[in-house]
Structure formats: structure tokens, C-alpha cells
């Protein structure tokens, strides 16, 4: 959208709709906002904004309401951002620096946002289905169980128990871990699952094939997690 009066109309519609939760009409904008143009001109601008996907008209005789695209443009380009004071920045840094994990950081962030804005704040943890692999550690924890510690690009840490009929040697486990980290770094969990399964079926990895298959299954399961893990 070009830098024009139309942007002022979009801003007015978004702000009025947020406040009233009712479709916004051209006559109301002309009366309540000093846009410097007639109601007919505003109506034309609103029609153009609707054609461009920023507004929608619930029904023929109603005013317009913002679309997701309209809200996104408002937030990115039109909203007025009040800068934080230095004291607020120090307070936020101090509050969040005490986080001991991603979960703790998200909980603290939700609480902090609520306190600063005086509003309800909801924070969602990143969805594993859209994450990429950063690092994997394989740790023997029992006679027939390996613990896979999976770290994603979002900082999310997930743990999975891998059951094997016979525990591979420490050297074989380290060799598998190194190969997975080398070949799967930056891959989606779905792609990493396929890579690890192929890796386990390759020459030289016969002793860790069972562990590789179990790790591939874990990646596949994580890739199916379409929802954010938790809401705070």
C-alpha cells in the first residue's frame, strides 16, 4: 500500500474497531476523525482498502472491520510505539536474566507483559513442528535405554527415552551422535527423521541401527506436534 491518506483511514478503522468492537462506517469516521475529506471520499478509500485485503465488510449495509492483513500492517507500519525508559529496560533485563530454562523465561515474560501493560498477557512456546534441529546428545541411562536430548533452533529442549535390546558401546554412541549432528543440523525434524533412519541403515552403523531407528521415530513424533507446547 502506498504512503497516502488511505493509511490514515486504515489506522482510524483499526483504532475505532479495537475500541468499539463494531464495524466502522465512513460517516462515523468523517464525523469523529479530522481526516480533511468528505464521507464519500473516505467511503472510496475504505472500498479500495477492502479490495487490497486490509478491510472486510461483514454484510452489505455494514461498515468495515480490519482483516488479519490490516492488523499486521497497522502493527508493523502505523502503530505508535512508546519507547521504554532506561529504568524499564534495566528492570526487564534483570527480571528475565534470572530465567533457568525456556519454560521459566516464557512464564516470566507473560507475567512481565501483564504487569507492564495492565492487560491479560498470553505467551506460547514455539511449535516443534516448525523447528529445526540444532544439536542432539545421546546418553546411556539404563541397561537398555538411551536418553536423547534434542535442542532446536528456538532453544526448545526435549528429552526422549530410546529403548534398545542391547546397549551399543560408548564409541558407537558417540559416532552416531556426531553423524546425526553433522548431517541433520538445520534440518526440520521431519527431514532429520528420514536422514537418521537412512544413516542407521548405512554401512558402518550396524551396531547402532536400533538406536538410530528409535531416534528417527522420536524426531517424527516431534514433527507431528502442530500445537504450541504450553500457554502461559
Topology of domain 5-78, CATH: Arc Repressor Mutant, subunit A (1.10.10)
Per-residue pLDDT at 80:
61
Closest CA to 64 of 29, 109, 35, 36: 29
**Collapsed DSSP state (helix, strand, coil) of residue 132:** strand
Going 28 to 34 to 37 to 38, the CA torsion angle's sign is positive
pLDDT of residue 230: 64
Phi, psi of 157 (to 5 degrees): -120, 125
DSSP 8-class letter at 25: P
The Cα diameter of the chain in Å comes to 80
CA distance 141 to 149: 12
DSSP state of 157: E
**Which residue stretches of the chain have pLDDT < 70?**
1-3, 78-82, 102, 125-129, 225-232
pTM of the entire predicted model? 0.49
Whole-number pLDDT of residue 168: 92
> What CATH number belongs to 129-223?
3.30.390.60
Residues 33 and 45 sit within 8 Å (Cβ to Cβ): no
Amino acid at each position: 500500500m502506498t504512503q497516502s491518506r488511505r493509511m490514515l483511514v486504515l489506522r482510524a478503522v483499526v483504532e475505532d474497531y479495537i475500541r468499539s468492537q463494531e464495524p466502522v462506517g465512513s460517516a462515523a469516521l468523517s464525523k469523529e476523525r479530522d481526516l480533511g475529506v468528505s464521507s464519500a471520499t473516505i467511503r472510496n478509500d475504505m472500498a479500495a482498502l477492502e479490495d487490497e485485503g486490509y478491510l472486510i465488510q461483514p454484510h452489505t449495509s455494514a461498515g468495515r472491520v480490519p482483516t488479519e492483513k490490516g492488523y499486521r500492517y497497522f502493527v508493523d507500519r502505523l502503530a505508535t510505539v512508546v519507547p521504554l525508559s532506561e529504568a524499564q529496560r534495566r528492570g526487564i533485563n534483570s527480571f528475565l536474566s534470572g530465567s533457568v530454562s525456556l519454560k521459566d523465561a516464557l512464564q516470566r515474560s507473560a507475567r512481565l507483559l501483564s504487569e507492564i501493560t495492565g492487560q491479560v498477557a498470553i505467551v506460547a512456546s514455539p511449535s516443534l513442528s516448525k523447528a529445526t534441529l540444532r544439536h542432539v546428545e545421546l546418553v546411556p541411562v539404563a541397561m537398555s535405554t538411551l536418553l536423547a536430548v534434542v535442542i532446536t533452533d528456538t532453544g526448545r529442549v526435549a528429552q526422549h527415552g530410546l529403548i534398545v535390546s542391547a546397549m551399543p558401546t560408548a564409541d558407537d554412541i558417540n559416532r552416531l551422535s556426531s553423524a546425526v549432528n553433522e548431517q541433520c543440523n538445520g534440518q526440520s525434524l521431519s527431514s532429520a527423521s528420514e536422514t537418521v533412519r537412512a544413516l542407521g541403515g548405512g554401512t558402518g552403523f550396524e551396531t547402532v541401527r536400533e538406536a538410530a531407528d528409535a531416534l528417527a521415530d522420536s524426531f517424527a513424533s516431534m514433527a507431528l506436534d502442530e500445537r504450541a507446547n504450553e500457554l502461559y
